[in-house]
Structure 1
Amino acid sequence: MALHDRSQSRSSITAWCDAVFHVIRETTPCVSWCSRYRSEEDPMLELRPGCECCDCDLPPETDQAMICSFECTFCQSCATQKLKGLCPNCGGDLVRRPVRPARYLAEAPPSSQRVFKPAGCATA
């Protein structure tokens, strides 16, 4: 099945991508070339725009953003100094948020929703 065949339905392309993804995920660290064809319901990181503690900007290209498994988002400074590497909301570990390559930002834009909870960070 060729990806360039425009007569194929989106669902058949998505099914093809799912099949390919399962075959190559063990040997390929990134299958983003296939993400263009996946449906909008498929999960992806929101890439929230700011730190929940200090409200500093965290653009999608920064390497200073830290997230928990629920995507609570903090800057590296707050995550390490104030929060000691633990999310104040769920208690989970805070890890470095991956960077979304710029070429995919138009197709998969970052979130514009800011979450700011300075009181929650002060008690952590």
Structure 2
Amino acid sequence: MSHLTTHVLDAMTGTPAEGVAVTLSGREDGGWEPLASGVTDGDGRIGEIGPERLSRGDYQVRFDTGMYFQRRGVESFYPEVVITFSVGDGAHYHVPLLLSPFAYSTYRGS
């Protein structure tokens, strides 16, 4: 069983991305079922999203990047970023997002 955190940084401004809506979904019967949602805080973080413990399996984290940039009056290319990942035996999973209006990157954080 594991838990999940996330952090979003705005590479355009070099600051945390506050106010990004995030949804965690798990795979159920071949489809994706929402498990939890939240909004990044002033440091661009969600300290823990979803159930206290995630069981083994595949999950998706969906970031509403379009709304984030729209509120700032910035044209962007990706209205959302969806990251699919697998949970195994790890105790903690951190899925960060480095964001700009026309690109993004992610990695398994610590």
Q: Normalising TM by the smaller chain, what interval?
A: under 0.3
Rg: which structure is higher? 1
Higher relative contact order (CA 8 A, sep 6+): 2
**Structure in which a larger fraction of residues adopt strand:** 2
TM-score with structure 2 length normalisation?
0.26
Considering fraction of residues, name the structure with more helix: 1
